[in-house]
């Protein structure tokens, strides 16, 4: 049994519904509308966000798994769904007090929450996709210092 186990990427999805708006306080209503379109409406609008979390590693001989998917589900629930579901991201999530609630920034926030939790179990978060609709999403692979 000297051959190396195969490396597999496991992807788990999670969903949350949240409201947000895109506005810069230093711009006028007209300037915000020009830059962000209807997303600048200060009363906000909602998305059914979806995320896909990739964990890569060798298949463990004893378990036949990369990591226990039950553990990953709990982490997604605690770090993503519970803190963000049915929230207004601009008004109720501290990270966005001085950041735009763009998909790019949401991916940064989620990576910063998920990566340490997954690393603590001895595994590596290797990719994160955040979708706000079928035709708009971002992918983030973390900084080089976070790679295993
Ligand atoms: Zn939006």
User: How far, in Å, is the centroid of ligand 1 from the Cα of 71?
Assistant: 30
Domain total of the chain: 1
Domain containing 82: what range? 7-146
What integer pLDDT is reported at residue 3 of this predicted model?
Answer: 45
User: How far, in Å, is the centroid of ligand 1 from the Cα of 24?
Assistant: 14
Q: How many CB atoms lie within 10 A of CB 116?
A: 13
In whole angstroms, give the CA distance from residue 111 to residue 54: 11
Q: Which sign does the torsion angle of CA 67, 127, 142, 90 carry?
A: negative
Residue 23 lies in a domain: yes
Q: Provide the 8-state DSSP code for 78.
A: I
Contact 89, 18 (CB under 8 A): yes
User: How far, in Å, is the centroid of ligand 1 from the Cα of 47?
Assistant: 6
User: How far, in Å, is the centroid of ligand 1 from the Cα of 46?
Assistant: 6
Residue 107 lies in a domain: yes
Angle in degrees, CA 69, 92, 90, rounded to 5: 100
**CATH number of the domain encompassing residue 113:** 3.30.479.10
Condensed to tens digits (0 to 9), the pLDDT of residues 71-126 reads: 999 999 999 999 999 999 999 999 999 999 999 999 999 999 999 999 999 999 99
User: What pTM was computed for the model?
Assistant: 0.90
């Amino acid at each position: 049994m000297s051959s190396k186990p195969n490396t597999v990427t496991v992807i788990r999805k999670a969903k949350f519904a949240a409201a947000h708006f895109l506005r810069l306080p230093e711009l006028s209503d007209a300037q915000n509308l020009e830059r962000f379109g209807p997303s600048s409406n200060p009363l906000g609008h909602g998305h059914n966000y979806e995320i896909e979390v990739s964990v890569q590693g060798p298949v463990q001989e004893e378990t036949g798994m990369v990591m226990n998917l039950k553990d990953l589900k709990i982490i997604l629930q605690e770090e993503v769904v519970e803190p963000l579901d049915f929230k207004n991201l601009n008004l109720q999530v501290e990270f966005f007090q001085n950041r735009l609630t763009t998909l790019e920034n949401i991916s940064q926030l989620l990576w910063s929450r998920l990566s340490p939790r997954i690393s603590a179990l001895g595994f590596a978060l290797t990719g994160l996709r955040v979708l706000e609709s079928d035709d708009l999403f971002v992918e983030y692979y973390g900084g080089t210092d976070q790679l295993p």
